[in-house]
Amino acid sequence: MTDVDYGRTIRVDLAYDEAVTRVKEVFQEQGFGVLTEIDVRATLKEKLDEETEPYVILGFCNPQLAHRALGVEPEIGLLLPCNVVVRRHAEQTLVHAQDAGVMVRIAGRPELEPIAEEAAQRIGRAMDSLPGTSRPR
């Protein structure tokens, strides 16, 4: 697995449930709150009766950054919140964070660059503070 052009992936040395809790904590330390939490595993079990590995999508928002971005481009809400995925795969706990620069590339508005850069720095600090972080094997 490698990073994709719209996000960053790390492996953490935590059990899945502990990783979900810790991800919420480190993002909160960077000024983000959880707006949405989607338990993909539970949804697929309920709707399709399919068993999958644990997988949650956390929709994070930093209100100050969101307000600034919406002031530049009201439709940018289509690209908010910043999604972070925590999942189990091949006996590893993985954390995937959306690249904040995606909103600039899609919107094509250079005025969003400083906002996306600040968000990227905060996301990077959150990801870097997770215990035992490394690139997945």
Say if residue 137's pLDDT is above 70. Answer: no
What's the pTM?
0.91
Q: What residues form DSSP beta bridges with 83?
A: 59
Res. 133: pLDDT tops 90:
no
pLDDT in tens, 70-127: 999 999 999 999 999 999 999 999 999 999 999 889 999 999 999 999 999 999 999 9
Structure tokens at 88: 């189990």
| Tens-place pLDDT, residues 3-34 | 567 899 999 999 999 999 999 999 999 999 99
What one-character-per-residue DSSP string does 7-39 give?
A: EEEEEESS-HHHHHHHHHHHHHHTT-EEEEEEE
